[in-house]
Amino acid sequence: MNQKEAKDRIQQLDRELLEHNRNYYVLNSPTITDFEYDILMQELLELQKRYPQFISPSSPALHPGSEYTPSTAMDTEKDSDAQQRGFTRRAHRNPMLSLGNTYDFEEIKAFDQRIRSASDKAFSYNCELKFDGTAICLTYIDGKLDRALTRGDGTYGDDVTANVKEIPSIPQNLLPGSGFPHEFEIRGEIYMPFEAFDRLNHLKELDEEPLFANPRNAAAGSLKLQESADVAGRGLECTLYHLISPESNFSTHSQALENVARWGLPVSEYAKECFTIDEVIEFINYWDVKRKSLPFATDGIVVKVNDLQLQKELGFTAKSPKWATAYKFKPEQALTPILSIDYQVGRTGAVTPVANLEPVQLSGTIVKRATLHNRDQMQLLDIHINDYVYVEKGGEIIPKITAVETSRRLAGAQKAVFPDKCPDCGTELVSIPGQAGVFCPNQDGCPMQRKGKFIHFVSRKAMGINIGEATIEQLWNKGYIKELEDLYSLTEEQLLTLDKFKQKSASNLLASLEQSKKVPYSHVLFALGIRNIGEQTAKTLAQNFKSIEELMSAGREELMAIEDIGGIVADSILDYFSKEVHSHTIAVLKEKGLKFAEDGNAVQKLSDSLEGKQIMITGVYSVSRDEMKAYIEAHGGKVASSVSAKTDWLLTGDKPGDSKVKKAQKLNIPIISEEELYKLTSDAE
C-alpha cells in the first residue's frame, strides 16, 4: 500500500466509523455487529500507526465509544444532536475512558505479561461479566443520588438524573449507617433484561413501529426518553462496578464492591477473583457457554487488576486504563440453508422478506425463520435460493441473516427476486420517497393489509379489545368481518362457530367490545390505522382538533401549523379522509358508540381566566394528567403538545421533564407550579 492508498483508506475508515458511531450511540440503530466494528477500528489503528501524518483530529480512533460527533464534542451550543436529545451536557469530574478489548487469548496472555513485567508484587485479577448495556456515572452526596451522567465522549456526558431515578434498582438514598463516604462517584451499566426487551419489542411490533435491534439499543433509547415517567415501565436494571472516592481506603477492587453492596447499591453477583491468567481464561471459557442461559445480554468478560494501589502505579494511556482489559465473545452464528422466502405485507403495506430456513439450534432455541429486512438488504447480500447463510441473533433475540457462504452455492442456483407486485393482491409495488422499503399502495383492497388493520385496531394501545390474531383470522375467513365496524356487529351465535369458543369466551369478547366504546378519542384515532399516525401523533391531533369532524375538515396548511406535524403526516391524513370507505367506517363506528370527540368538549366551562393561553404540562400532579388537562380547558386554556415559542406557560409538577424545563428557560417561557395555576384561576371561578 502506497501513501496515497493509505491516506484514502484512512479517510474512508474515518467516515465509515463515524457513521457507525452515530448509528450506535445516537440513533440506537446499528447496522453492523460489534465484531465487524472492531475489525474496522483495528484496521484504522494499524494504518494510523504506520502513517501518523494522515491522522485527522476528528478521527473516531481518537474519540472511542462516543455518542457525540468529534467536531462538537466540547461545544454544547453548536451540537444539534445535544439540542435534539434535550439533555444538559455536563463535564465528568474524572474522565470515563474506554477499555481495550480483544477476541484473542494470546492477547489476554500478553496483557498479563505486561502487568508482571511492570511489577514484581503478587496480585490477583477480578473478573466480571461485561454487561451489554449503556454506561452510567452516578454521584452520591451524603447518601443521596445527586447526579447521573451518560458516558458521552468520556469528558462530557448527558445529565439523565431524572430518568435514572425511575430505575428501581438504583437507590435514591443509601442505607443509613452503612459507612458510605460523604461524596463519591460510582460507575456501571444500565441494561435491559431479555424479558423486558421481548415485551417492549412485542408492543412495537403490534404498532408496526421499528424494533430495537438488541437490548443494548433498547436500554440506551429508554434512558433518553423525554418524559421521565415513561422510563419506569421499560424494565431497566443496573449493575455498578467502579468506585471513585478519595475518602475510601479499600485495598482491593473486590473489597470495594463488597462494601458498595452493603450501602444498598446493585453490584454483579457474577464475579470471581482469579490468581493466574489460566484461571482467567477458564472463567472466560465457562461464561462463553453459560452466558446463553443468563436473563440478560453479556458480550464479554472484563479483567481488572484487583490491587487498587497497583492500579494507581500502572496508570492509564490516553484512551484506557493499563490495569484492565476486556475479552469479547464472538457472536454466535449458525450456518444453514435458505429453503424459501416469504413476502409479508403489514397493515401499512410495507413488504418484508422473511427467509424460511432449515431448522438450526442458535442461542438455546431452534431458529426456522429470519428476517431479510427489505429489498435493499436482499440485494446487498445477493441472496440465492438454497444458499447457505450465517444466522445470528441480534442481542441474542432477533434472528437475522448476516452473510452468505458463497463457496457452498449450488451451480445454477436462482437469485432471489423481490416481487414487483404485491404477493397478496397483485397490485404494483411502490417506493415512497423518504421512507425505507417497498409498499403495496392498495390499502383498502389488499387482504393482508386489511387483516393487519384489524390486529392493530384491537391492540392494547388502540381499542384494547381482548381478541387474538388467530381469532381475527377465523373471523375474516368466515366472512364475519370485512371492515372495522363489523366487529361491533358480531353476535354470540357467530362467535360460537369459531374453534375453541364456548359460551364464556364468546361473552367475554362481546363484553370487551362493549367496554372498548369507553376508549378516549385519541386512542380511537390511533386505532383507525392512518399511515404515519403513531400513538403520540394521534394524541397531538386530538389535542388540536377536538372532534373527528374538525380533523376531517382541516386543510394541509392548518395541519402543518401544528408542532411535530410535517408534510408526510399531513398528506397521510388528507389521503385517508378523502376516501369514502373511511368516512363510512367512521360514521358507522360513531353510531356504534365509539368516541370521536375529546371528553373535554363536554366539560362545563368554569372561567375565561386561561383564555388564549397555551400551557405545556410536565411532571406528576396531585391529580391525574387527564384531570389537569380538563381543568386547564375548563378555564379556557389549551394544552400544548410540546414546548415552543407559541407556549405561554410550562406547568411543572413533581419530577418534571428536564428537557422541557431547559427548553422553556432557553425560550424565556414562564414556569409555574400547580399551586400557582390554581391561584390564577381561583378568583375567576
Note whether 220 and 85 are within 8 A (CB): no
Calculate the CA 107 to chain-centre distance: 34
> How many degrees, rounded to 5, is the angle at CA 347 between CA 343 and CA 348?
95
Phi, psi of 554 (to 5 degrees): -75, 140
Pull the grid cell for residue 482: 370485512
The DSSP code sequence of 41-71 is HHHHHHHHHH-GGG--TT-GGGSTT-SS-GG
User: Taking the alpha carbons of 585, 590, 594, 597 in that order, is the dihedral positive or negative?
Assistant: positive
Residues 641, 544: contact at Cβ < 8 Å?
A: yes
3-state secondary structure of 252: strand
Q: Residue 288's CB: how many other CB atoms inside 10 A?
A: 16
Q: What phi and psi, each to the nearest 5 degrees, are found at residue 219?
A: -65, -45
**Cβ–Cβ < 8 Å for 187, 244:** yes
DSSP state for residue 391 in the 8-state scheme: E
Sign of the alpha-carbon dihedral angle for 202, 208, 212, 213? positive
What is the rounded CA–CA span in Å between residue 668 and residue 3?
54
Sign of CA dihedral 25, 30, 31, 32: positive
312 is catalytic: no
Query: Three cell numbers at 158?
Result: 448527558
Name the pairing type of β-strands 333-345 and 388-394: antiparallel
Take residue 340 and report the three cell numbers written for it.
424459501
Which residue, chain included where needed, has cell 475479552?
327
Q: Beta strand pairing status for 649-652 and 671-673?
A: parallel
433: Cβ contacts below 8 Å, ≥ 6 apart: none
Q: Give CB contacts under 8 A, 24+ apart, made by 45-49.
A: 47/6, 47/9, 47/10, 47/13, 48/10
| Residue 566 φ/ψ region, left for φ over 0, alpha for ψ in the -120 to 50 degree band, beta for the rest | beta
CA atoms within 13 A on the CB side of 353: 25
For the chain, give the longest Cα–Cα distance: 86
Nearest to 546 by CA among 467, 486, 602, 475: 602
Q: Is 368 helix (H, G, I), strand (E, B) or coil?
A: strand
In DSSP terms, 300 is beta-bridged to: 130, 328
* Annotated active-site residue in 130, 393, 400, 451: 130
Q: Which residues are catalytic?
A: 130
